[in-house]
Chains A and B, each alone.
Chain A
Amino acid sequence: MRVNGKGLVDRSAPLSFTFDGKSVEAYAGDTVASALLAAEIKMIARSFKYHRPRGVIGAGSEDPGALITVGSGAVQDPNVRATVQEVYAGLETRSQNCWPSLNVDLLSLNDLAAPFLGAGFYYKTFMWPKAFWEKLYEPVIRRSAGIGALSGKHNPDTYEKAFAFCDLLVIGAGPAGLMAALTAGRAGAEVILCDEDSVMGGRLNGETYEIGGQSGQDWAARAVAELSAMDNVRLMTRTTVTGAYDQGTYGALERVGHHLGGLGDTPLECFWRIVAKRSILAAGAIERPVAFRNNDRPGIMTASAVRTYLNRYGVAPGKKVTIFANNDDAHRTARDLVAAGVHVAGVIDTRQDAPDGEGYEVYKGAEVCNSEGRKALEAVTFRYPDGREDKLQTDCLAMSGGWNPSVHMTCHMNGRPTWNEDILSFVPTDGTVPGMVTAGACNGAFSTHAALAQGAAGAEAALGDLGIKMTKADLPEAEDAPYRLKPLWAVAGKGRAWLDFQNDVTVKDVKLAAAENFRSVEHMKRYTTQGMAPDQGKNSNVAALAVLADATGRGIPETGTTTFRPPYVPVSIAALGAGAQGDGFAPQRFTTSHKASVDAGAPMIEAGLWYRPSYFPAPGERTWRQSCDREVNMVRNAVGICDVSTLGKIDLQGPDVGEFLDFVYTNMFSTLKVGKTRYGLMLREDGTVMDDGTTARLGENHFVMTTTTAAAGPVMRHLEYVHQCLRPDLDVSMISVTEQWAQFAVAGPKSRELLNGLLDVEIDDASWPFMACGEVTLQGIKGRLFRISFSGEHAYEVAVPSRYGDSLFRLLVARAEAMGGGAYGMEALNVLRIEKGHITHAEIHGRTNAFDIGFARMVSAKKDCIGKTMSERPGLVGEERAQLVGLKPVGVVQQITAGAHLFNADDDPVRENEQGYTTSVGFSPTLESYLGLAFLRNGRARHGEEIKMVDHLRGITTRCVVCDPVFFDPEGGRVRG
């Protein structure tokens, strides 16, 4: 029911939205909750476990009652609080957790089964028979539990993340927060003021009292206007600070697009990481419900929420409202309602000394003990001090058990709140979050005057810390009424009295937990699930632990609270991972030949962040094997071209590079001659092989190291580590030149012929012998040429500045094709190197050492190097080690598969008998056989032996003969060709 002349909604801007398919009238500025209450729709959802009717209970993000689903199809957003969702024309909302409909919910039968569904029921009920769990219990529980549902479709909404920095972060824009921001803003500090509401002002917008002679609403609006005119102040509405983290970092969720239809590029949410030198927590307080029999009916709300709907939205949540309270504050609700012309059935106050009402009856010392009504509240029963019971017909009960300061953020860094007996609440403990102070209601200071004063004082303290000059703020006049209350947690009596409305946890459940010896508050929480719903116990925690304290005969402070953890409100994973959707997931690295490879029809595969061609299909080829076999033959018989730019290239310069390389490589590099290249092996300090590659000496003090594609980053980090942390005395400078050079392998018997057609000065065997390197020019462009070979053929790698990469690749491929060759991809490259027994990270996989791969002789005895000492440990060398070998199939089955296990020919293929495993496999068209590289226990002594390869996963057993890992051209005559 709308109340004329009240509220901040724009009565000149009517609009409509839908709830469960029905059109609902609303005004700009309404939330779904206020609009539904105005339309007298009270039942909005069904509860989690018992499927009891649920309505609006609060008016903010903590509301545990009115969870709805917004939108449909791919953008469907479940578990949205109707109290937070702003209305817009065309908004589509639905009730949830009911089937087939909100009114006729078959699962509400659970409510009748309540005696069997108490705390821990699932631990007790579904124990046996065991087979029932997977087939029956779990599917049924999954359907009936759960709150909203995801669409299961890809969500096209965009989410954003952002970083912000400030001197002072003010969390909450009620009177304390606004006063803090005004004080700091006027002094010129960089201020960020965040508030989760769409309109700043906090409680001021839900109240009628005055500040400085004007209404609280007007004062807040003026304060916001003043702040928004300051360049040094950033106002962030619809932004909930969700967590306090180390060194002044705060997380904040901004709802950017939830109140807009038709988003386009506008993100739905933005997750902010705010770095603040100081912060003021002015998060306010949350009014707590009272537990009494059937206190969960739609129409039963908190007293302050009723005021908010009346004063902020111009909505009376009922026609005949009853108030149930233990404190003076709740009497404001009665006064505001009466002033607005709404009938107040009475105020039931548990205190004998409750104030008298003006225009309404006060039942002093009485307490509400039951409620009635099918799908909404119709009447309450209350009990006088003498035990007599009476009944009031009422359609809205405004209850207040006092207020809980929102201390959450002060506990995010391991802090614990302190119990304050005066206000029967936990309040923040000072200094639990470095740089943060608390002000106003979240600090247990409930009057408006106190909020303003603490806000100003907090800002003054922060400014003082930051050395920013200021003039003391003049505090406007404001109410400073005392807050008098009497303990009231749960009304004694039979029946179920709700503590946690969202997870359906009652007083009985908490008592049962205590009786079953779950006496620790953390155990009680997990046993009953109290506080584990989306509201994270904001409404129920203190009352629940008061009940637990009572049941266990302890005080509340001894019982303690559970741990408050971020986030303060639910945050979608999409917001936390914003920016990482689709192509934003990870950088894509493209070689300069990428386009030419794609143009040639090559499927591209990911190699780390890089994309490399798998194979280049020729006309008529139908399988990758056909292409791969052709490409291998091409390299062995003519010439092939392969982009090897993805290998890491590190340029090292300085007088001490030789000594440095001797220390990071197992073998010697200081002795390498200028113009020569050498293969090097790099160990981790524990003796395991880290990486391998060739390093060329371009000048006396100038080397270029290559790393594998996968290890480029880690090797660079390692070299910097060795230099900075172990040998800062060495004068060495290093820089990655991976991106500078486009580098192509030109491999095969016709490689030199091809190159000589392109180089400005022709080369021959004398000028460029095997392992030679140096500068060359191609059409006047300076490049580098290395005579090195991964394929085992007479081969070169030619490098030019990357800008010419695309052009040179196309040219090389065209030349190669004219000579009976062409481009080859990763599949052929792999087969070529397996034929030669060359290792990759499939072999140096982080568990193998130099001895295992047969390179023990590469660990120079003449010098120390990283990993040398540990590589000589007992157990890292010897017969028991699995050693690198080659495998060839000899039986009927001709296939070797990677990751298969090796067994002695007559042994059972079980774990205890394992002799080794395969690492790399491929079909060699050169040798017309499958070939495998493997690690086999004492393998080097077993060449010629027949063993059994078993691939349990694929169901393949192959008899293999063990051989040297170099299958092809073991003398290496071809590379010198």
Chain B
Amino acid sequence: MADLIAKSPCAGLLPVTHGTTSLSEVEMTTLTSVAPYKGQETGLSDALKAAHGMALPDINRATGKEGARAVWFGQGQVMLIGPSPASSLADHAAVTDQSDAWALVRLEGEAAEDVLARLVPVDLRRAQFKRGHTVRSQLQHMMVSITRTGDNAFLIMAFRSMAKTLVHDLETAMRGVAARGSA
């Protein structure tokens, strides 16, 4: 019997570099949506700390670090990125596997802010949007989650089915920014 083979959302599309900016796919990992039930925020945060070593992030914030992050993902929702969710979380929250629902890319380079300024209607300059800050917004026409993971690095998440458009739109902006930089 032929084996079922896993395919990443951006397979065959990435990595690419234009000018000083690079775009690469984040290796497939476990993504878990965690949405606390009524009045369970504190219990969930404690469970999250005990099991995964990070607190429930505030609105527009991410906790944890590379490999194990908790990213605020909308009203009453946090995306756990990396660890397999501890069963204790389900006592406090709706826990939903989202590992295959999102395309995760990393945009990096000195001009990464300029690239995003062409696509995202939110102020993502470092002074306002620091490491550990996150937003739910739109990138061109797509709903996305954007988290600053480094001085010049962003984690961008979009629907898996839109991976090709995500890469297309980012590359278009990257090319324009690169061309200006060299003009």
Interfacial residues, chain A to chain B (CB-CB below 8 A): 158, 160-165, 190, 256, 260, 263-267, 273, 275, 579, 583-584, 586-592, 609-610, 651, 653-655, 731, 733, 735-742, 758, 778-779, 781, 800-808, 811
Q: How far is the CB of A695 from chain B (nearest CB, A)?
A: 16
- Max count, chain B CB within 10 A of own CB: residue among A733, A737, A779: A733
List residues of B (124-183) whose CB comes within 8 Å of A's CBs: 125, 127-128, 140-142, 159-165, 168-169, 172-173, 175-176, 178-180, 183
Residues of A within 8 A of B123 (CB): 163, 165, 275
Complex Cα gap A589–B164 (Å): 8
Residues of B within 8 A of A592 (CB): 7
Complex Cα gap A806–B179 (Å): 37
Closest 8 CB pairs of A and B: A653-B94, A733-B94, A265-B179, A802-B100, A739-B101, A589-B161, A165-B123, A740-B101
Q: Do B28 and A265 touch (CB < 8 A)?
A: no
Complex Cα gap A267–B7 (Å): 35
8 Å CB contact of A740 from B37, B98, B117, B119? B98
Q: Do A735 and B140 touch (CB < 8 A)?
A: no
Residues of A within 8 A of B168 (CB): 583-584
Q: Do B6 and A804 touch (CB < 8 A)?
A: yes
8 Å CB contact of A163 from B37, B120, B161, B169? B120
Known: A162-B118, A266-B180, A591-B161. A651 touches B96 (CB 8 A): yes
Q: Do A264 and B125 touch (CB < 8 A)?
A: no
List residues of B (1-53) whose CB comes within 8 Å of A's CBs: 1-9, 28, 33, 35, 37-38
Complex Cα gap A778–B2 (Å): 12
B: interface residue count bin: 35 or more
Q: Do A731 and B37 touch (CB < 8 A)?
A: yes
Q: Do B2 and A587 touch (CB < 8 A)?
A: no
Q: Do A266 and B183 touch (CB < 8 A)?
A: yes
Residues of B within 8 A of A583 (CB): 165, 168
8 Å CB contact of B176 from A265, A742, A806? A265
Q: Do B4 and A162 touch (CB < 8 A)?
A: no
Q: How far is the CB of A516 from chain B (nearest CB, A)?
A: 49
Q: How far is the CB of A55 from chain B (nearest CB, A)?
A: 33
Q: Do A807 and B160 touch (CB < 8 A)?
A: no
Residues of B within 8 A of A778 (CB): 4
Residues of A within 8 A of B97 (CB): 740, 801
- Asked if B60 lies at the interface with its beta carbon under 8 angstroms from chain A, I say no
Please name the residue on chain A nearest to B33 by beta carbon: A735
Apart from A267-B179, A653-B35, A778-B4: 15 A-B pairs, beta carbons within 8 A:
A160-B173, A160-B176, A162-B117, A165-B125, A273-B121, A579-B169, A583-B165, A651-B94, A653-B94, A735-B98, A739-B100, A740-B98, A779-B1, A779-B4, A801-B99
- Asked if B102 lies at the interface with its beta carbon under 8 angstroms from chain A, I say yes
Please name the residue on chain B nearest to A803 by beta carbon: B6
Q: How far is the CB of A369 from chain B (nearest CB, A)?
A: 51
Please name the residue on chain A nearest to B115 by beta carbon: A162
Known: A256-B180, A737-B96, A737-B98. A588 touches B165 (CB 8 A): yes
Residues of A within 8 A of B141 (CB): 586-587
8 Å CB contact of A653 from B96, B120, B125? B96
Q: How far is the CB of A367 from chain B (nearest CB, A)?
A: 50
8 Å CB contact of A811 from B2, B6, B178? B2
Residues of A within 8 A of B175 (CB): 265
Residues of B within 8 A of A731 (CB): 37-38
Q: Do B6 and A584 touch (CB < 8 A)?
A: no
A-B contact pairs, 15 of them (CB 8 A): A163-B122, A164-B117, A165-B123, A165-B125, A256-B180, A264-B179, A587-B141, A587-B165, A588-B162, A736-B101, A737-B96, A740-B96, A802-B100, A804-B6, A807-B7
Q: Do A779 and B128 touch (CB < 8 A)?
A: no
Q: How far is the CB of A69 from chain B (nearest CB, A)?
A: 24
Complex Cα gap A779–B3 (Å): 7
Known: A162-B118, A579-B140, A779-B1. A803 touches B176 (CB 8 A): no
Complex Cα gap A468–B61 (Å): 27
Q: How far is the CB of B170 from chain A (nearest CB, A)?
A: 11
Interfacial residues, chain B to chain A (CB-CB below 8 A): 1-9, 28, 33, 35, 37-38, 76-77, 93-102, 117-123, 125, 127-128, 140-142, 159-165, 168-169, 172-173, 175-176, 178-180, 183
Q: Do A802 and B37 touch (CB < 8 A)?
A: no
Complex Cα gap A731–B36 (Å): 10
Complex Cα gap A807–B123 (Å): 41
Complex Cα gap A583–B13 (Å): 15
8 Å CB contact of B7 from A162, A263, A733, A806? A806
Q: Do B161 and A590 touch (CB < 8 A)?
A: yes
8 Å CB contact of A587 from B35, B94, B119, B162? B162
Q: Do A740 and B99 touch (CB < 8 A)?
A: yes
8 Å CB contact of B161 from A651, A653, A739, A811? A739
Q: Do A590 and B164 touch (CB < 8 A)?
A: yes
Q: How far is the CB of B2 from chain A (nearest CB, A)?
A: 6
Q: Do B7 and A158 touch (CB < 8 A)?
A: no
Q: Do B94 and A735 touch (CB < 8 A)?
A: yes
Residues of B within 8 A of A801 (CB): 97, 99-100
Q: Do B128 and A165 touch (CB < 8 A)?
A: yes
Q: How far is the CB of B47 from chain A (nearest CB, A)?
A: 16
Complex Cα gap A801–B96 (Å): 12
Complex Cα gap A528–B69 (Å): 66
Residues of B within 8 A of A589 (CB): 159, 161-162
Please name the residue on chain A nearest to B125 by beta carbon: A165
Q: Do A803 and B3 touch (CB < 8 A)?
A: no
Q: How far is the CB of A760 from chain B (nearest CB, A)?
A: 11
Q: How far is the CB of B177 from chain A (nearest CB, A)?
A: 9
- Max count, chain B CB within 10 A of own CB: residue among A592, A738, A739, A800: A739
Q: Do A654 and B37 touch (CB < 8 A)?
A: yes
Complex Cα gap A265–B176 (Å): 6
Q: How far is the CB of A197 from chain B (nearest CB, A)?
A: 18
Q: Do A735 and B77 touch (CB < 8 A)?
A: yes
Residues of A within 8 A of B28 (CB): 803
Please name the residue on chain A nearest to B159 by beta carbon: A739
Residues of B within 8 A of A265 (CB): 175-176, 178-179
Complex Cα gap A548–B136 (Å): 54
Q: Do B4 and A735 touch (CB < 8 A)?
A: no
Q: How far is the CB of B108 from chain A (nearest CB, A)?
A: 20
Please name the residue on chain B nearest to A158 by beta carbon: B176
Residues of A within 8 A of B98 (CB): 735, 737, 740
Residues of B within 8 A of A590 (CB): 161, 163-164
Residues of B within 8 A of A758 (CB): 1
Complex Cα gap A655–B39 (Å): 13
Known: A731-B37, A739-B101, A779-B4. A160 touches B96 (CB 8 A): no
Complex Cα gap A579–B77 (Å): 31
Complex Cα gap A717–B163 (Å): 23
Residues of B within 8 A of A803 (CB): 6-8, 28, 99-100
Complex Cα gap A275–B1 (Å): 59
Residues of A within 8 A of B178 (CB): 265
Please name the residue on chain B nearest to A161 by beta carbon: B118
Complex Cα gap A275–B117 (Å): 12
Complex Cα gap A785–B8 (Å): 23
Complex Cα gap A158–B121 (Å): 20
Complex Cα gap A807–B76 (Å): 35
Residues of B within 8 A of A610 (CB): 161
Known: A260-B183, A733-B94. A579 touches B172 (CB 8 A): yes
Q: Do A802 and B4 touch (CB < 8 A)?
A: no
Residues of B within 8 A of A737 (CB): 96, 98, 101
Complex Cα gap A739–B160 (Å): 6
Complex Cα gap A937–B173 (Å): 55
Complex Cα gap A263–B180 (Å): 10
Please name the residue on chain B nearest to A611 by beta carbon: B161
Known: A737-B96, A737-B101. A266 touches B6 (CB 8 A): no
Complex Cα gap A806–B8 (Å): 11
Complex Cα gap A267–B178 (Å): 11
Residues of A within 8 A of B164 (CB): 588, 590
Residues of A within 8 A of B179 (CB): 263-267
Residues of A within 8 A of B96 (CB): 651, 653, 735, 737, 740
